[in-house]
């Protein structure tokens, strides 16, 4: 089956290619291959590729910059999705689209279900929600959060770099969610595709953390693997003490129970996957 993966050079795009099943005839593209903001170019590329499934792992993810570049974010996060859906509607193909916890406002006290009402707080969240709205019932939407991967640009690797440079760090402790290893997310996406799933599903690693708790765990695991020379002091601060252009949801835990039930697999705790990722990071040198 012909599968086109967008966002080929990103964290998830790379993991999807690495874990692709034998039945998938993969082609993967990134911004150097096709400008997703150019609808005619994207449509022409889809005609050439003729995929039966598109896994859209591409996105505008610069959350703070999106506040001043909302139209660019919209072109990638919503406009390109609309083009993909239109192309697949003509050929009978399927779009698998990846979205984010940022479509929620963080006001809940319980994990967000796939059907929970959305209320994004930021330009990034708004454009991702608009992208979700372009999908058809037969398409597949997978929401996730706090994604990281060995070798990628992410919170884990940023923390390791800072921990090598500094004796003390300040990390926000009043935003709660679940870190997610891109490798595990890719496995879930492929499994959902193989099941023929459609509609909305959530995937995050098991457990709950604040960014501060995540940073402390990174320090402990990275030090144990020799990735950092010492464990720095990590001060817990509030969101108000670290202002950013974009508002973040204070609570963005996703309810992944329907995903786990459909796939019949166990939820893996985020700390277990963090350790696996850092072992890969150590091998990269």
User: What positions carry a catalytic annotation?
Assistant: 124
User: Distance between alpha carbon 210 and the CA centroid of its chain, in Å?
Assistant: 17
**How many angstroms separate the CA atoms of 94 and 84, rounded?**
9
Q: What's the token pair of residue 135?
A: 């999908």
| Cα–Cα distance for residue pair 256/263, rounded to 1 Å | 11
Q: In this structure, is the dihedral angle defined by the CA atoms of residues 32, 184, 66 and 94, taken in order, positive or negative? A: positive
End-to-end CA distance of the chain: 36
Spatial separation of the C-alpha atoms in residues 166 and 66, rounded to whole Å: 29
Distance, CA of 23 to CA of 276 (rounded, Å)? 27
The distance between the two most distant Cα atoms of the chain, rounded to a whole number of Å, is: 57
The one-character DSSP state at 99 is: E
Q: In the numeric block, which tokens belong to residue 267?
A: 């939820």
By C-alpha distance, which of 44, 7, 251, 3 is closest to 131?
A: 7
Per the rule left: phi > 0, alpha: psi between -120 and 50, beta: everything else, 278 is alpha
């Amino acid at each position: 089956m012909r599968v086109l993966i967008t966002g080929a050079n990103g964290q998830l795009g790379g993991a999807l290619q690495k874990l692709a099943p034998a039945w998938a005839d993969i082609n993967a593209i990134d911004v150097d291959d096709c400008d997703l903001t150019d609808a005619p170019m994207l449509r022409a590329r889809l005609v050439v590729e003729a995929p039966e499934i598109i896994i859209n792992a591409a996105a505008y993810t610069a959350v703070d910059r999106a506040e001043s570049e909302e139209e660019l974010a919209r072109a990638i996060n919503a406009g390109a999705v609309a083009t993909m859906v239109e192309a697949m509607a003509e050929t009978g193909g399927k779009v698998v689209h990846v979205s984010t916890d940022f479509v929620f406002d963080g006001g809940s006290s319980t994990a967000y279900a796939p059907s929970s009402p959305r209320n994004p707080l930021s330009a990034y969240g708004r454009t991702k929600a608009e992208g979700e709205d372009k999908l058809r019932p037969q398409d597949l939407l997978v929401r996730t959060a706090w994604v990281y991967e060995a070798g990628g640009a992410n919170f884990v690797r940023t923390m390791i770099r800072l921990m090598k440079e500094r004796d003390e760090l300040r990390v926000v402790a009043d935003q709660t969610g679940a870190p997610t290893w891109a490798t595990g997310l890719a496995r879930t996406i492929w499994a959902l595709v193989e099941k023929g799933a459609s509609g909305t599903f959530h995937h995050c690693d098991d457990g709950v953390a604040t960014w501060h708790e995540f940073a402390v765990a990174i320090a402990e695991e990275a030090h144990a693997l020799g990735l950092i020379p010492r464990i720095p002091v990590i001060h817990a601060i509030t969101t108000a003490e670290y202002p950013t252009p974009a508002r973040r949801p204070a609570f963005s835990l996703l309810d992944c129970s329907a995903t786990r039930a459909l796939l019949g697999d166990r939820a893996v705790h985020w700390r277990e996957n963090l350790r696996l990722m850092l072992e890969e990071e150590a091998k990269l040198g």
